[in-house]
Amino acid sequence: MTDRLTPEQRHRVMSRIHGKGTKPELKVRQWLWQHGYRYRLNVKSVPGKPDIVMRRYRTAIFVNGCFWHGHHVETQNLASLPEITNSSCCKIPQTNREFWVNKIKRNQERDQQNYQVLHDNGWQVIVVWECQLTPKRIEETMLRVELLLNEHFLALHQPKVVPYNVQETPTSIAAEEEHYEKR
């Protein structure tokens, strides 16, 4: 893919990406960029305004904070307050607990609605969680994202692969043998 930006513009973009490397969303962007993937950010025309939009792969990526989006906190559990247990990466405060539970529950419901609309419109939705982006886990996480991107790309384009029939074309080996005999 050719670079549409001038070297100066490219430098500005890259320094912006590298400058604030702590936010989870930026870690994902940075990895994708470094591996040659191009994307758009917060595209309004795409439902749910995903963090990263990859039209070529018809894929929307959401990078979710574990607390605000209730990672590992089951929505069913959220419905009945006493049953709620904190997950390892989403610790709901004890103080004013009902408020926080309701807030996280609403966020989860909105997330699900957005994912459903995207899915119904033929988009692949990938959710990357904050806790999957630690230095130890980021490579594994992003390789998985890359696999999902490429699998979806293949499914979209369905290349017509013609199987190679060995029995019909034995000529290459025969020709080589002849060649050697002549020497």
Instruction: Name which position in 28, 52, 54, 66 contacts Zn ion (CB under 5 A).
Output: 66
Nearer to Zn ion, 57 or 132 (CB): 132
Beta bridge pairs of residue 60: 53, 125
| Contact by Cβ (8 Å): 63, 24 | yes
Q: In whole angstroms, what is the distance from residue 132 CA to residue 129 CA? A: 5
71 binds Zn ion (CB under 5 A): yes
For the window 83-122, what string marks contact with Zn ion as x by the rule CB under 5 A? ------x---------------------------------
What does 126-145 look like in DSSP terms, one character per residue? Answer: EEEEGGGGSTTTHHHHHHHH
Task: Quote the least distance from Cβ 133 to Zn ion, whole Å.
Answer: 10
131 binds Zn ion (CB under 5 A): yes
In this structure, what token pair is assigned to residue 158? 């369905």
Instruction: Name which position in 57, 125, 129, 149 contacts Zn ion (CB under 5 A).
Output: 129
Task: Quote the least distance from Cβ 153 to Zn ion, whole Å.
Answer: 27
Task: Quote the least distance from Cβ 33 to Zn ion, whole Å.
Answer: 24
Task: Quote the least distance from Cβ 69 to Zn ion, whole Å.
Answer: 9
Task: Quote the least distance from Cβ 165 to Zn ion, whole Å.
Answer: 50
Nearer to Zn ion, 57 or 101 (CB): 101
What does 73-136 look like in DSSP terms, one character per residue? Answer: --HHHHHSGGG----SS----STTHHHHHHHHHHHHHHHHHHHHHHHHTT-EEEEEEGGGGSTT
Nearer to Zn ion, 66 or 142 (CB): 66
Task: Using CB under 5 A, list all residues that contact Zn ion.
Answer: 66, 71, 89, 129, 131
